[in-house]
Structures are given as C-alpha cells and as structure tokens.
Copies of this chain bind each other. A is one copy, B any other.
Amino acid sequence: MQPDLEEGPEFAPRFSSDGLLTCVTVHADDGVVLMVAHMNADALAKTLASGVVHYWSRSRQCLWRKGDTSGQTQALVELRVDCDQDVLLARVRVGGDGGACHTGRRSCFYRRVEAGAEGARLVEVGTG
C-alpha cells in the first residue's frame, strides 16, 4: 500500500518511461467501453482545461484531439484515475455519429475471442 498515492487527494499521475498514461474511455450514459488510448502530460492538461478529450497518438507521434477529422469528439463528463495513478478512466459523450473506432463502429471492442480445439478465433459481436 502506498497511502498518499492511493488514498490522498493529490493527483500525481505516474507516467510511463515514455511519458504516457493508458486511458480507458467509456460512454458516460451506458458505461460501454469505447476505446483504449494514451495521454501524455500535454494531452491530459488540454483535456482537463478544455473538457474535450485529447490523446497522444503513438503511431503518429502527435497530439490528437479525437474527432478533429471524424467529428467524433469526446466531451469529458468525468475523469477518474486508478489506485496507483497510472491509468485514467474517461467518461465521455461522443459527437458526430457517436462512434469511437476508426473502423466505423461505436466501440473498438467488437470481436469476441472464442477458444476452440483448433485455437482461438474471433467472432463479431454488437457493441450496444
């Protein structure tokens, strides 16, 4: 147990060695997990200051205000942090068509892993 980190009121995010926090983003209304992405300190600060979710794109190595090109902006309803302050949970409402995944689906988690005798396969499922 690390009392200050886990029980105190101080927000002391523990960025990874590459300067990132993992962020789980869920819809504020029904709690569906929409996506998982990352924030650096700048993305986190801009998210808190603007109320619109910003991420750090690891693939493009740039700040990414979600929805800038797709219209699928994410209005921040609540930001939470986990016990040891290295993961964020963003509760959002989504603009545009309501999607969060670049494939066009509402959520990135649209496939179930099914284990079988011949190995695991993926089956598409609805995302609410």
List chain A positions with a Cβ less than 8 A from chain B: 1, 6-11, 22, 24, 26, 30-33, 35-36, 48-49, 78-83, 87-89, 101-103, 105, 108-113, 115, 119-123, 125
Known: A1-B103, A11-B122, A79-B112. 5 other contacts (CB 8 A): A9-B123, A31-B32, A36-B82, A80-B110, A83-B103
A48 in contact with B113 (CB, 8 Å):
yes
Q: How many copies does the complex hold?
A: 2
With A121-B11, A122-B10 as known contacts, state yes or no: A83 contacts B110, CB within 8 Å. yes
A108 in contact with B121 (CB, 8 Å):
no
Residues of B within 8 A of A103 (CB): 1, 6-7, 83
B121 in contact with A89 (CB, 8 Å):
no
Beta-carbon nearest neighbor of A80 in chain B: B109
With A9-B121, A11-B119 as known contacts, state yes or no: A113 contacts B81, CB within 8 Å. yes
Beta-carbon nearest neighbor of A115 in chain B: B48
9 inter-chain pairs at a CB distance below 8 angstroms, sorted by A residue, are: A1-B102, A1-B103, A7-B103, A11-B113, A24-B36, A49-B115, A83-B101, A83-B105, A83-B110
How many Å from the CB of A33 to the closest CB on chain B? 6
